Amino acid sequence: MIIRHRKASDVRSHEITPEGVYLNRRQFVQSTGLIAGSLALGDIARAAVLPEAGGKFGAMPTTHSKLDPTDTPTPFGDIINYNNYYEFGLDKTDPAKYAPAFKPLPWTVKVDGLCNKPGTLDLADFLKPHNLEQRIYRMRCVEGWSMVIPWIGIPLADIIKNVEPQGSAKFVRFETIVRKEEMRGQRSSSLPWPYIEGLRMDEAMHPLTLMAVGLYGQPLLGQNGAPFRLVVPWKYGFKGVKSIVRISFVESQPQNTWKVMNSDEYGFYANVNPKVDHPRWSQASERRIGELRRRPTLMFNGYEEEVAAMYEGMNLVRLY
């Protein structure tokens, strides 16, 4: 494997897709019937961080992007129309079709467990003092497809530092909203609801770990996890828990949803490892959405230089 010795924060201009390349937000949501949900998300963004007219965020720094010349950001239309989000349905197109029924306002997040300052965060109020960042990350799905997404958010470490976790807190547990009347997929027994995920404390505190509130310069749409979701770029996509309403600091490893559902196929760590196949398919290569060719899968999704030290000495075959 060739490791590029370029700092993760180094960003070249060609790595950022110009605004004109992706679809105009207003025209797109009107043509696809997403206007109701997107307006609500625009409102929360205006309340939280005062983006410019039209519901878009203002200029912000781009940090922690580590891309090769072939890592072109995935078009906006693909990002919002090809999703795994079982709360809205099992098909990749279900989230875009049914997410407009989801109304994310108002939004609060309960923070509890082993921390000195538990409480409830009002998302709009919480975001005001924070400087948002754009981070262009590779994102890899366990099913063999991938995207490159310009996320907008704040480091999860900012939240953790604010609530002062206790020394006994070894893990962070995330819980999603349950709103069956708006999320039709929750009316089925495809998964146990709410969706649960977790990170080890050092993973949660890592500089790459992001709490996202937007992408491509605008607030998240429902199908992408509005209004508040986790992004961990060196892990498979199912770790990126969406529409988070509770963050808990706990001593024991959380029983995350997919490990409970099928522990033979989905582990707790979910680190991208091309050397470990899924029982039903290879993980050695991936298909970037929008491309026909497959490309080799990179260890830790290309972030090996930044994160491998956290797993030194671990059996990454057994602890998948």
pLDDT at 293 (0 to 100): 93
Collapse the DSSP code of 150 into the 3-class scheme (helix H, G, I; strand E, B; otherwise coil) and give the result.
strand
pTM of the model: 0.84
Segments of the chain assigned E as strands: 108-113, 119-122, 133-140, 145-155, 171-176, 196-200, 210-215, 218-219, 229-231, 244-250, 285-288, 294-296
Structure tokens at 303: 């972030």
Structure tokens at 15: 């790595």
Tokens 């025209």 sit at which residue? 27
Nearest to 240 by CA among 105, 120, 137: 137
Report phi then psi at 191, rounded to 5: -140, 155
Is-contact 208 64, C-beta < 8 A? yes
| pLDDT band at 58; cut points 50, 70, 90 | confident
Q: Domains of the chain (ranges plus CATH)?
A: 13-140+149-272 (3.90.420.10)
Rounded CA gap, 147 and 72, in Å?
9
Name which residue leads in pLDDT, 116 or 317.
116
Rounded CA gap, 87 and 25, in Å?
24
Is-contact 265 278, C-beta < 8 A? yes
Q: Is the pLDDT of residue 56 over 90?
A: no
Nearest to 142 by CA among 2, 223, 258, 242: 258
The residues, any chain, with a CB within 8 Å of residue 172's CB and separated by 6 or more, are 156, 160, 198, 199, 201, 204, 247, 248, 249, 250
Is-contact 223 240, C-beta < 8 A? no
Which H or E run includes 269?
none
Q: Is the pLDDT of residue 270 over 60?
A: yes
| pLDDT, tens only, 130-164 | 889 999 999 999 999 999 999 999 999 999 999 99
Q: Which of 126-130, 145-149, 239-243 has the lowest mean pLDDT?
A: 126-130
Is-contact 156 211, C-beta < 8 A? yes
Structure tokens at 53: 């007219």
* Mean pLDDT of all residues in 239-251: 98
In degrees, to the nearest 5, what angle opens at C-alpha 193 toward C-alphas 160 and 278?
A: 85
